[in-house]
Structure formats: structure tokens, C-alpha cells
Amino acid sequence: MRELVEGVLAWHRPEERKLPWRTPGTTPWGILLSEVMAQQTQADRVAERWVQLIQRFPDPATMADAAPAEVIDLWVGLGYNRRAVNLHRAAVVMVEQHDGEVPDDLDGLLSLPGIGPYTARAVLAFAFDRDVVPVDTNVARIVARHSGRVLDRSDAQVLADGAVRWGRGALAAAALMDLGATTCRARTPACDRCPVASTCSWAGGPEEDPAGRGAHRPRPQGRFEGSARQARGRIIAAARAGRLPHDAAVELAGEHGVGVLDALVADGLVVRDGEGFALPGARGKSRRGVRDRED
């Protein structure tokens, strides 16, 4: 696997994606924010909103002091708004238990709400220069194809970590992620321009794709139109404009009924406000409109 990492590193220098959180001086908080935002959302969509969020919330303390409603308000449109609630909760934990700083160890990061093994490793690599490779779907696909083996996530993680030389974790992680996003794609791999095709066991697709059978294969999402995700997005969008009466919320829930409302309350995305619903800690009305995006 060493030849994989070395080949990708050589390719990556001129091909690196220009993302705002990769600029020198980005704080560990800025890295953590970008990684949470990039969960299930393409990096290009995240970039502009990340700038807005880091300007409004430059550190965990600033976010912890804000109402969750303000974080949700800035988040809506990225999808999966529950991440915004967890991010706010994580900021509170950092203030209360870590002196307002992002933890620099795996256990500390994993103790934060909404932070799983991948995101924790990404923060360790990009914020603290640790020699780990966060294995997302892109990286797992590259490792499986290059090795020619069907791998579960833990196997892919072991191979990726073992291929990183001292002091190059962040570089290797960024290079592998970018290769997966631009070249070693899931449905349309560009093997003819891949920098490591000569050492790849699967280059050219001569056999069944090993990345298509591993545990890391992404789960297909159901249809968005008419889904509970769409109903949740509509309810949150309406709640941004002010208190949402119960009957109006039920109407927006449609065929999904009060179960959607109960789930939003349980997730901390809305709170019951008398005979209606509101964003948690909301004051006044939002100034912006919003598309119906899934939460």
C-alpha cells in the first residue's frame, strides 16, 4: 500500500482541491466544523457556507453562547439539520469539559455529540497532524480497488494507516480523498488518468469491482420527494419564520403525521411552544427564506 500513498501524494500537489478550510492558519475548530458539515454533503456545497459559519462562530465558545436556533438557521439548505444541533451540543461540551478547545485525542473527540470514528480521525489528521487516515467512502473504495480485495471498514482503515509514513497523515488523507472525489469515482472511474493505475489490482475494471461488495459501500438513499426527510425540512423552514401553529405543522407533515413532529422534537430540532412549535431558543423571525431540504 505504500506505493499507493506515494503515488497519490506526487499527483496531488498540482491537483489539490482548493477548499477554504485547507488554508494555513485554520484552527482545529475550523477543521472540525468543516468535517461535520461535509458529512453526507459535497465539499463544494459546504465551502461557501463554511465561511459564513466560521465568521459567525469563530470558536466553540461563540457557538455555545448562541441559541441552537441560530446555528440551525445558518445550516438549513445543507441538509441533515440534526448535524447543526449536535455541533451546538459539541461546542457546549468543549466549553464545559475541554476549556473551550477541540480535544486532540481520539477518545476526547469521540465523546463529543455527533462525532464518529471517521470525523474524529479527520480532525486528528488535519488539525493535529496525526499519522492517521480517515477512511470515508472515497478512501475505502480506493483501498479496496488498489488491493483487489473486498474489505470491511476496519480492514480498509488498517491498510490505510499502515501505508502512511511519519508526519504525512494530513497530506495522505487529503490526497486520497481528492483522488476518490475526482478520479477513482464509484460509477465512472477514470482509470486512464489515475496516477496509481500501474500498481492498482483493479485498474480498467477487468473483474467485479471489489469496492462494490464491501461493507463500506454507500447505502442508496430513498426518494426525497414525498419522504419524511422532505416533510421535516418543510417544518424546519416554516419554524425559522417564527412560531409554527400545531395545525400548520401537522399539515406540513402530510401523510407522515405527528410522528415526524415527535421525531423533530426528540432530535432537538424544534421545541413545543404552547400549541405550536419553534426552533430551540428562537427569538423573533428569520430574515431569509429557505428551500425544502432534508434534515
- Walk along the chain (295 residues) in steps of 10 and give the mean pLDDT of each run: 85 85 95 94 90 97 96 88 94 98 97 95 93 88 92 87 74 90 92 94 83 60 76 87 87 86 90 87 46 41
Residue 217 phi/psi, 5° resolution? -60, 130
Scanning 16-136, the segments in alpha helix (DSSP H) are 28-37, 43-56, 60-65, 68-75, 82-97, 106-110, 117-128
Question: Would you state the cell numbers that stand for residue 174, as one nine-digit string?
Answer: 487529503
Three-class secondary structure assignment of 114-156: CCCHHHHHHHHHHHHCCCCCCCCHHHHHHHHHHHCCCCCHHHH
* Domain ranges within the chain, ordered by starting residue: 1-219, 228-278
Judge whether 76 and 236 are in contact, CB under 8 Å: yes
CATH 1.10.340.30, applies to 1-219: yes
DSSP-assigned beta bridge partners for residue 292: none
Rounded to 5°, the CA angle 38-42-48 comes to 80
Neighbouring CB atoms inside 10 A of 148's CB total 12
- Shortest CA distance to 84 belongs to which of 21, 120, 41? 41
Q: What is the pLDDT of residue 214?
A: 55
Give catalytic status of residue 35 as yes or no. Answer: yes
Judge whether 281 and 68 are in contact, CB under 8 Å: yes
Length of the chain: 295
Buried-exposed string 276-289: b where 16+ CB fall within 10 A, e elsewhere: bbbbbebeeebeee
Report pLDDT digits (tens) over 91-141.
Answer: 999 999 999 999 999 999 999 999 999 999 999 999 998 888 899 888 999
Rg (CA), the chain: 21
Of 3, 16, 35, 101, which is the active-site residue? 35
Q: What is the pLDDT of residue 292?
A: 39
Judge whether 278 and 268 are in contact, CB under 8 Å: no
DSSP-assigned beta bridge partners for residue 278: 271
Residue 21 phi/psi, 5° resolution? -80, -5
Judge whether 183 and 8 are in contact, CB under 8 Å: no
Q: What is the pLDDT of residue 228?
A: 84
**Identity (one letter) of the amino acid at 143?**
V
Q: What is the pLDDT of residue 225?
A: 79
CA–CA separation, 123 vs 35, rounded Å?
Answer: 7
Q: What is the pLDDT of residue 283?
A: 57
Q: What is the pLDDT of residue 233?
A: 86
CA–CA separation, 241 vs 214, rounded Å?
Answer: 44
Judge whether 268 and 68 are in contact, CB under 8 Å: yes
- Shortest CA distance to 4 belongs to which of 155, 140, 154? 140
